[in-house]
């Protein structure tokens, strides 16, 4: 269930980046033409890196923590039977 939620959140973040970039281009173009579209794209790219970059880093931290915990659990000596 956790993997499903994390995968859905990852897809949500990717869709969010695309929609933010598209929204920046559309709003820039409607205001100032092609120059505004370029500025809107640049502004939306900076904003998406700030917003969604933090989320991607947090997801990677979670994955690395889970992997480290699994490795440490595998290294524990097991009692003899």
Give this prediction's pTM.
0.72
Residues with Cβ within 8 Å of 41's Cβ and at least 6 positions away in sequence, in order, are: 21, 24, 25, 28
Encode pLDDT of 35-58 as tens digits. 999 999 999 999 999 999 998 898
In which residue are the tokens 């173009």 written? 29
Task: State yes or no: pLDDT of 78 exceeds 80.
Answer: no
What's the whole-number mean pLDDT along residues 21-34? 91
Instruction: Tell me which of 19 and 66 has the higher pLDDT.
Output: 19
DSSP 6-51: HHHHHHHHHHHHHHHHHHHHHHHHHHHTHHHHHHHHHHHHHHHHHH
Q: How do the domains of the chain map onto residue ranges?
A: 20-62
């Amino acid at each position: 269930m956790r993997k499903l939620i994390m995968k859905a959140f990852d897809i949500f973040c990717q869709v969010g980046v695309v929609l933010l970039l598209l929204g920046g281009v559309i709003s820039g173009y409607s205001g100032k033409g092609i120059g505004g579209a370029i500025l809107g794209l640049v502004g939306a790219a900076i904003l998406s890196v700030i917003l969604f970059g933090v989320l991607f880093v947090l997801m990677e931290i979670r994955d690395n923590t889970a992997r480290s915990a699994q490795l440490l659990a595998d290294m524990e000596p097991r009692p003899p039977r």
